[in-house]
């Protein structure tokens, strides 16, 4: 990366949104620079679970084998429990793959970056973007960045700037991308890794919150989600509140924790925003959390970031390269935005519903009806995984059963 160097695409942020975007565009033959202010490999906040559509994309890109080779277990047993009702099963296989995966992020994110580098992407970690370059008409034409605390300021030029720099996106701020849909924060999440705690993927909803157990590389991640209105109280006694929530909402899992050992720090956040930002504009696009974020309770962020990467490459890729027409690129980016919204809006609305305590009794009634019917149970798992649209689950037959409860 040199001052005034030209690229077709500069991608800011090198995790689930950025690295696949860079990889797919480079595979189309474009000159791509991928920047991240973090050192790699490195960890980031996550409860790790990749639903089946995301797993299928990893396989499509030739990266799933590396996840498996890391020792990450296949998760093909899923248990949902809400009070006295529970269902267990697994989503329908995709591309012949049965099960989900939950690799540690320090492993997954490096696999994604390695995939980008193998595709010909130039990668610079510890490199922070601080400003934009625009032409006289306001079109984004490049960025200013700095490697390390003392590196020189470097300007790089590009036809398309991709902001994949997360929920607090610098690129979104610099381009002034407005939030076009927004809801209040709904939960706060705390999690830790445990050794000696065997589990399936387990999700419990009880009177005081949600608990998840997620098998990962050589450990089980156990998460507790509290309602957002408890965040100020919970944050000051996070570990006690975490263990109390597991005990009160998932007693059997709590007993397994007592027989195991916490193997890392407790991590948590109360800042899980819910929004769609405008997805693009003249010379720029947003991918992953930068453009769209939702509560992590439904574990969709990773797969949705992968999907956005693929949509952006499909739409914008053919309009990049020597002799490309900026107006055609802008139209393609607008098409990407429309495709993103069409693909993700229903799941967003589902997450907003799921993360609200007020709708718990409706969920209990739904789970009770589903637990009594094998076909509905399968459809439920496919819907939760994102293989079916929610509207397909709510058939007239299901609705009449719900009315009868």
Ligand X SMILES: Cc1cc2nc3c(=O)[nH]c(=O)nc-3n(C[C@H](O)[C@H](O)[C@H](O)COP(=O)(O)OP(=O)(O)OC[C@H]3O[C@@H](n4cnc5c(N)ncnc54)[C@H](O)[C@@H]3O)c2cc1C
Q: CA-to-CA distance for 145 and 133, rounded, in angstroms?
A: 11
Shortest Å, Cβ 404 to ligand X? 35
At 106, list the tokens.
């320090």
CB of 339 to ligand X, least distance (A): 17
Q: How far apart are CA 95 and CA 59, in angstroms?
A: 8
Q: Identify the bridge partners of residue 222 per DSSP, sorted by sequence position.
A: 192, 213
CB of 44 to ligand X, least distance (A): 5
CA gap 178, 278 in Å, rounded: 6
Least distance in angstroms from the C-beta of 243 to ligand X: 18
Of the two residues 22 and 257, which places its CB atom closer to ligand X in the complex?
22
Whole-number minimum distance, CB 25 to ligand X, in Å?
15
**Closest CB to ligand X among 85 and 164?**
164
DSSP, collapsed to helix, strand or coil, labels residue 366 as: helix
In the complex with ligand X, the residue whose CB is nearer, 336 or 368, is: 336
State in angstroms the smallest separation of the CB of 178 from ligand X: 18
Is residue 97 a contact partner of residue 383, using CB atoms and an 8 Å limit? Answer: no
CA-to-CA distance for 221 and 72, rounded, in angstroms? 12
Residues sharing a CB contact under 8 Å with residue 84, sequence separation 6 or more, in sequence order: none
Instruction: For ligand X, give the closer residue by CB, 36 or 205.
Output: 36
Strands (E), 2-100: 5-12, 32-35, 78-82, 85-89
The sign of the torsion formed by the CA atoms of 369, 373, 376, 378 equals positive
Which C-beta is closer to ligand X: that of 191 or that of 380? 191
Residue nearer to ligand X on the CB measure, 37 or 256:
37
CA torsion sign, 299 to 303 to 309 to 313?
Answer: negative
Min separation Cβ 13 and ligand X, Å: 3
Q: Order across the sheet with 274-277: list the strands.
A: 179-183, 274-277, 292-293
In angstroms, how far apart are the furthest CA atoms of the chain? 69
Shortest CA distance to 377 belongs to which of 79, 52, 50?
A: 79
Beta carbon nearer to ligand X, 189 or 369: 189
* Nearer to ligand X among residue 53 and residue 283 (C-beta): 53
CB of 379 to ligand X, least distance (A): 21
Shorter beta-carbon distance to ligand X: residue 13 or 368: 13
Q: Which residues of this protein are in contact with ligand X, per CB under 6 A?
A: 12-18, 35-38, 44-50, 128-129, 164-166, 170, 189, 269, 272, 288-290, 296, 299-303, 305
Minimum separation from the CB atom of position 357 to ligand X (A): 18
Alpha helices for 231-278 (secondary structure H) = 231-234, 238-249, 251-259
């Amino acid at each position: 990366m040199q001052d005034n160097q030209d690229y077709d695409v500069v991608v800011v942020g090198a995790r689930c949104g950025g690295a696949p975007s860079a990889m797919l565009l480079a595979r189309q033959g474009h000159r791509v620079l991928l920047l991240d202010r973090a050192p790699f490999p490195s960890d980031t906040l996550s409860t790790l679970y990749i639903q089946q559509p995301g797993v299928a994309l990893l396989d499509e890109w030739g990266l799933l084998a590396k996840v498996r080779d890391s020792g990450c277990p296949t998760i093909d047993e899923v248990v949902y429990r809400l009070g006295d009702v529970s269902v267990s099963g697994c989503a329908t296989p995709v591309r012949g793959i049965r099960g989900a995966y939950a690799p540690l992020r320090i492993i997954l994110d490096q696999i994604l970056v390695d995939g980008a580098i193998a595709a010909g992407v130039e990668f610079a970690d510890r490199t922070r973007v601080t400003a934009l370059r625009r032409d006289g008409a306001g079109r984004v034409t490049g960025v200013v960045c700095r490697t390390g605390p003392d590196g020189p300021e470097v300007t790089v030029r590009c036809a398309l700037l991709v902001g994949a720099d997360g929920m607090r996106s610098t690129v979104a701020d610099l381009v002034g991308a407005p939030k076009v849909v927004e809801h209040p924060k709904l939960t706060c999440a705390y999690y830790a890794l445990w050794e000696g705690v065997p589990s399936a993927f387990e999700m419990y909803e009880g009177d005081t919150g949600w608990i998840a157990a997620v098998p990962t590389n050589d450990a089980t991640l156990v998460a507790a989600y509290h309602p957002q209105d408890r965040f100020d109280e919970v944050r000051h006694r996070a570990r006690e509140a975490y263990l109390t929530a597991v005990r009160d909402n998932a007693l059997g899992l709590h007993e397994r924790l007592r027989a195991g050992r916490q193997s890392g720090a407790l991590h948590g956040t109360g800042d899980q925003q819910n929004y769609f930002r405008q997805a693009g504009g003249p010379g720029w696009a947003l991918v992953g959390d930068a453009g769209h974020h939702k509560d992590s309770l439904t574990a969709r962020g990773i797969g949705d970031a992968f999907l956005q990467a693929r949509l952006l490459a499909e739409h914008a890729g053919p309009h990049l390269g020597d002799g490309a027409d900026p107006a055609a690129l802008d139209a393609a980016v607008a098409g990407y935005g429309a495709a993103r919204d069409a693909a993700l809006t229903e799941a967003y609305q589902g997450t907003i519903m799921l993360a609200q305590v007020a709708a718990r009794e409706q969920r209990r009634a739904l789970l009770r009806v589903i637990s009594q019917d094998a076909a509905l149970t399968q459809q439920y798992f496919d819907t939760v995984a994102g293989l079916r649209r929610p509207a397909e689950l709510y058939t007239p037959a299901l609705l009449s059963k719900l009315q009868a409860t």
